[in-house]
Structure 1
Amino acid sequence: MGSIGSDAYLYQIVAKGHSPPIVKSAEGIYFTLENGQKVLDATGGAAVSAIGHGNKAVKDAIIRQLEAVTYAHNGFFQNTPALELADWLVKSTGGQLSRACILNSGTGSEAVEAALKLAYQYFAELSPQSPRLNFISRRGSWHGCTIGALSVGDIKFKKTLFAPLLLKNVSQVSPCHPWRDMKKGETTEDYVNRLKQELEDEFQRLGPETVCGFIIEPMVGTALGCVTALPGYLRAMKEVCDRHGALLIFDEIMCGLGRTGIQHEWQHEGVVPDIQTVGKVLGGGYAPVSALLIHDRVINGLKRGSGMFLHTQTYQAQPITCAAALATQRYIEENNLIENVRCMGEYLGEQLQLHLGEHPLVGDVRGRGLFWGVEMLKDKATKAPFNSELNIAKRIRLRGLEKDYNICIFTATGAADGWTGDQLLLAPPFIVQKQDVDEIIRRVVKVMDSVWKDIEPAVRG
């Protein structure tokens, strides 16, 4: 057996000398590291830990399920936690979506793969000679790391190396990103209509009868840094899809299940998708689980064909993960935590604007609920990003984990054009209180001030 910290773990082989710290324990909104540091978890990993760490209700639910049944292949058996979780998910949509397919991983990758397959199968079931093969996605999006998910996503440095492997039936249109892309003098209505026409033009270029679906994040997370769609945008996109008979797919892996202050992000406008992905918050960090939520339109299409979705994997609807997810969602519901997300999210946004809005590193602060992004810019007037060689996002993340700062901050790059641009995301657990938000702000500002002090001489030139 190798010792802890050996070179056996793949990350260490490719990390070029940087080794992340080892977590010893976690409770509430704090990690305790092996070296004794107590680190505030301001991001829930990648917006995952919705109810914090060490929740007794969820742990008890997992233990009860361990004592009952740990595994039963879903091709042979059903299990009660999976059935109850599916019922809960459907009810969470107000019955607007009628079926749930429980999947293995809590990330978006598998759920997006399954959503693409389901959309294609729907049309193939209706007509074996269906020409509907094309998918449209958006620039400035992120849908996961697997081949299909990478194909519809757009973080360049994660995608470009694998370009020869990617699907050739995917094209992209502009995101709804008013802060960066609205023209001077353009109204919200004008901008939404321009994006609507761009989608229509892409349908026409491909041939409307060849388009299978349009996949978008209703609120973009990692790739752009918490960009919310303008009022009217989702409805406009749905109108184009409906006119041409294509499916509308919402990827809510990161922004869904209460993260933005409402159960599903599409409920802000009441624009119902044909297929929706959920994950991350679903298992809350206690289990790797995601799901598809599916409209009757798609289910009825399958019923007229084979009557089944051709997507089965070994750990799909595994009893323990379903029990953990169900307990997580019930805890959120019973403790009215989505209301807390709304209240604390509003306060978090106000404090970010107050303390970072004029910071020399910061170009924009944006978000909703407990899902906020900060984009760093060299020039606020031109919105030009910092030189990528400064590694600002990486500096912020690593500085936060140092002993004098003790905060976990989610950072990413590519907000400007897929390659350049630095952004940080804050997505604390739904259980945070006002004093927790104040502490997050204090530590984030301290990190930002420190990083600015490091790079100011190079920026000033």
Structure 2
Amino acid sequence: MALPPSKKIPLVNDGNVVISTNGTESTHSAVLHRNLHHAPKTVVSAEGIYITLSNGQKILDATGGAAVSCLGHGNKRVKEALQKQMDEISYCHSLFFSVNAAERLGEELCKGTDGKMARAWICSSGSEAMEAALKLSRQYWLESVPPQPQRVRFIARRESYHGITLGALGVSGHVTRRALYEPLLNKNISHVSPCNAYRGMKDGETEAQYVERLAKELDDELQRVGPDTVCAFIAEPVVGAVTGCVPAVPGYFKAMKAICDKYGVLMIMDEIMSGMGRSGTLHAWEQEGIVPDIETIGKGLGGGYAPVAGILINPRVVDVLSKGTGAFSHGQTYQGHPIACAAAAEVQAIVREQNLVQNCKEMGVHLEKGLKSRLSDHPNVGNIRGKGLFWGVEFVKDKVTKEPFDPKDAIAMGVHEKGIEPPFNISLYPGTGVADGRAGDVAIIAPAYNVTKEEIELVVDLTARVIEEFFKEV
């Protein structure tokens, strides 16, 4: 099934590059956009869950960009907090100074874990956060008593994504995003199977048996490479764009943590996309009955009001550094940036004061019910899954065999493009490679945490109509 000639053709289908157009849009720009042949639409204003384009079109932002805008757009409290911080100071070097905003944010974040995480480290992007997590886990072993310098390896999962910088990309299992840079990536990394019940469970296999099989696979991999050579196991509690909001089956993370503890391996949980309330609890790991050693956070941390991400660190890790060098051997120019910290601190205060995590959970129930009611019987919808306000609709060529579409058909991007067009005017987040790293398409829905039931009903209706109309046309 290919898109009609009038439709837009993908140039690179790696989840990062937007598609070319049929030549009707100007590509003259001094900006190196994600695609040299495509001029993205220009936003001139935004308020709440709506974005207004330069042509006057009003788009319902049903995904907060990449599951980022957790409070929607134009929040007055956050804007005032940013102005207040700029009146105090916009930048200072964290090697010499701290600011009240950073201290407030750190306190807010650690309190949000009920003390299960002891320190916060703040940077500007999720990729930077993962780089810091990798370095910190390595330093942990160097400063352990006795030191274990032989621990240089990481184990992650296939069909995963942890960031676009070389270190973060190295631990990622995203086949197409890795492809160009494979020769540059760290070779001390291996990948085990993801926990994806729709794609991974065998016929007749129970969830408990599936968990047991995956736990054995991790144990076998540790034995293969030598458990005393591994720094950490890395996983997303709810996998983001790479598989489209796939949660683990019950008991999976407890089993993985038990294997890690068996060999003393650290567990890094990547909650950059699924955390900070998005999955219906402030931290997705709260639903798994475990506590990670290091957690990466981002996106919903600052709600898009400033570039901000970070890591939360277990007391176990902090204690080793405290008794060792007493310092994290890593630093960046914009680490703990005052404006970023002020934005994130205010966003998190609003989320807590307005009980938005609970709203995320409750509205997620309505979103799930609506999507399944409208789309479960669609012949090209294979699976609908997620948690909280983080849901994915996976598209298949054959509902029975679960056969994905050919990547060249660009189904997910086609659904996104159809949604952007009138009369729908809704932005849905496209994901690719969800079946095997190359093939497989998904549309992600991730509205703001303060979304209302009426707005959820509108999102469901528009999403269903877009999908129905798209497949009717192709």
TM interval, short-chain normalised: over 0.9
Which of 151, 154, 178 is the matching residue for 1:135?
154
Which of 173, 180, 186 is the matching residue for 1:161?
180
Residue 114 of structure 1: aligned partner: 132
Residue 405 (str. 1) matches residue 424 (str. 2): yes
What's the CA shift for 1:5?
Answer: 6.7
What's the CA shift for 1:358?
Answer: 1.1
Residue 296 (str. 1) matches residue 296 (str. 2): no
Residue 349 of structure 1: aligned partner: 368
Residue 214 (str. 1) matches residue 236 (str. 2): no
Residue 54 of structure 2: aligned partner: 34
Deviations 1:303-360 (A, max 9, x none): 2221100111111111111011011011111111111111110000000001111112
Q: Distance in 2 between matches of 1:427 and 1:376?
A: 17
Which of 26, 30, 33 is the matching residue for 1:8?
30
Alignment map for 1:169-180 (pairs within 5 Å)? 169-180=188-199
Residue 367 (str. 1) matches residue 386 (str. 2): yes
Q: 1:403–1:15: structure 2 CA closer, same or farther, 3 Å change rule?
A: farther
What's the CA shift for 1:269?
Answer: 2.5
Which of 43, 67, 81 is the matching residue for 1:61?
81
What's the CA shift for 1:128?
Answer: 5.3
The answer to whether the 8 Å contact 1:148/1:166 transfers is yes
Tell me, which stretches of 5 or more residues in structure 2 are unaligned? Answer: 1-25
**Letter of the structure 2 residue corresponding to residue 109 of structure 1:** S
Which of 52, 56, 69 is the matching residue for 1:49?
69
Residue 458 of structure 1: aligned partner: none
Alignment map for 1:413-452 (pairs within 5 Å)? 413-452=432-471
Displaced runs of 4+ in structure 1, greater than 3 A? none
The answer to whether the 8 Å contact 2:156/2:172 transfers is yes
Deviations 1:158-177 (A, max 9, x none): 11111001000000000111
Residue 76 of structure 1: aligned partner: 96
Alignment map for 1:241-256 (pairs within 5 Å)? 241-256=260-275
The answer to whether the 8 Å contact 1:360/1:452 transfers is no
Q: Distance in 1 between matches of 2:36 and 2:124?
A: 27
What's the CA shift for 1:181?
Answer: 1.1
The answer to whether the 8 Å contact 1:392/1:451 transfers is no
**Letter of the structure 2 residue corresponding to residue 377 of structure 1:** V
What's the CA shift for 1:184?
Answer: 1.6
Q: What do you get for the CA RMSD once the two structures are aligned? A: 1.2
| TM-score, length basis structure 2 | 0.93
Residue 307 (str. 1) matches residue 329 (str. 2): no
More divergent stretch after superposition (120-129 vs 65-74)? 120-129
Q: Percent identity, please.
A: 50
**Letter of the structure 2 residue corresponding to residue 125 of structure 1:** E
**Letter of the structure 2 residue corresponding to residue 80 of structure 1:** N
The answer to whether the 8 Å contact 1:133/1:210 transfers is yes
Tell me, which stretches of 5 or more residues in structure 1 are unaligned? Answer: 456-461
Q: Distance in 2 between matches of 1:25 and 1:148?
A: 36
Q: Distance in 1 between matches of 2:39 and 2:442?
A: 22
Q: Distance in 2 between matches of 1:343 and 1:15?
A: 42
Residue 20 of structure 2: aligned partner: none
